[in-house]
Amino acid sequence: MHTLTVDLGVRSYPVFVGPGLLERNDLFADYIPGSQVLVVTNDTVAPLYLQKVVDRLVDRKVDQCILPDGEQFKTLETLNGIFDKLLSNGHQRSTTLIALGGGVVGDVTGFAAACYQRGVDFIQVPTTLLAQVDSSVGGKTAVNHRLGKNMIGAFHQPRAVIADTDTLTTLPDREFRSGLAEVIKYGLMADATFFSWLQKNMAGLLDRNTDLLVAAITRSCQAKADIVSTDEREGGQRALLNLGHTFGHAIETAQNYRAWLHGEAVAAGMVMAAQFSRALGWLKPGEADAITMLIERAGLPTAPPAGITVEQFLSLMAVDKKAKNGALRLVLLQGIGDGLVTADYDAELLRATLAQLVS
């Protein structure tokens, strides 16, 4: 087991990464201060891992909330269903919520924990690669709105993150590849050495080699923990973590969160960011090609889906949390491992680049 810390003073918490963690009672008991627990999961994960987690919660009153599976259910209506379960079962302020599942379960459960009685404890137990390397760490919680992704939410840090890599053995190939997009992101935005490591080890990661997965997950989580520790609420450096996301969120919103997985949209979004960076003269052609090639090797899309126009992209990208004083800030690349957040770019060149990419 690898352990790292998200350093936020009194709100610091550990991230545990490794196989067999759902067999350990202590990892749960040490971070549940009260006697009440609500385990929130979905109807895909529940048959696989719910009972295993419940068995770890000895001497606790445990309730369960099973959500439908899918990004389209990341809504205020779903959130209200968690509140119904908490209130109908008499959960008090000392309760702890456990998010058992992927990014949707983690985001909705965390938002419920942030809101219920003005804030209760929760633990992240991510079961997808994407959640293990990204959404479970950092305290961002949210639901979607039909006009924009993750626009309704709160910052609320978990008590602990328990990432059992054994859960990845049951993950469908498409979901697994989706998670690799976020792994690649960490190399692109700030760690050229890690990007090179991914180029050498992508085949082994796709084969789900345990040692390689633990190494990739730990390195990704450490990169995110380092940024979150210095910029918890995305006032500056943390926005780098959104590389590919402004373009990607536009894709997801245009498709009503149904057609592409989040990591697929982010993958195409990273290629779009790389191509715009190349158009600005910041990326060398060989670097942009290397980015596209690695994402393609991971089995991920390298272009946006057909049917989204330039005007749709620009309209949907404008609904972005990084927008500041009316200006859209983008995460772009000055080189592999050298990301920056900027609104200082040629808007007409962005339009022209989008026109090439959607054609």
Active site residue 262: yes
Backbone angles phi, psi at 10, to 5 degrees: -70, -15
Check 242, 252, 287, 321 and give the catalytic one. Answer: 242
What single letter denotes the amino acid at residue 1? M
Check 71, 175, 234, 252 and give the catalytic one. Answer: 234
Type and span of the H or E element at 109: helix 103-115
Check 56, 74, 149, 262 and give the catalytic one. Answer: 262
Active site residue 23: no
What single letter denotes the amino acid at residue 345? Y
Check 245, 278, 321, 329 and give the catalytic one. Answer: 245
Check 182, 232, 252, 264 and give the catalytic one. Answer: 182
Active site residue 232: no
Active site residue 233: no
Buried b (16+ CB within 10 A) or exposed e, 264-287: bbbbbbbbbbbbbbbbbebbeeeb
Active site residue 224: yes
Active site residue 238: yes
What are the C-alpha distances in Å from 7 to residues 103, 146, 152, 291?
Answer: 22, 34, 25, 31
Check 77, 118, 200, 258 and give the catalytic one. Answer: 118
Check 238, 278, 321, 329 and give the catalytic one. Answer: 238
Q: Which residue has the tokens 């057909």?
A: 306
How many CA atoms lie within 13 Å of 197's alpha carbon, on the beta-carbon side? Answer: 19
Beta bridge pairs of residue 13: 6
Buried b (16+ CB within 10 A) or exposed e, 325-338: eeebbbbbbeebbb
Check 224, 278, 321, 329 and give the catalytic one. Answer: 224
Active site residue 234: yes
CB-based contact 44:70 (threshold 8 Å):
no
Active site residue 287: no
Within 8 A by CB and 6+ apart from 274, the residues are: 188, 283, 287, 288, 291, 292, 333
Residues marked active site are found at 118, 140, 182, 224, 234, 238, 242, 245, 249, 262
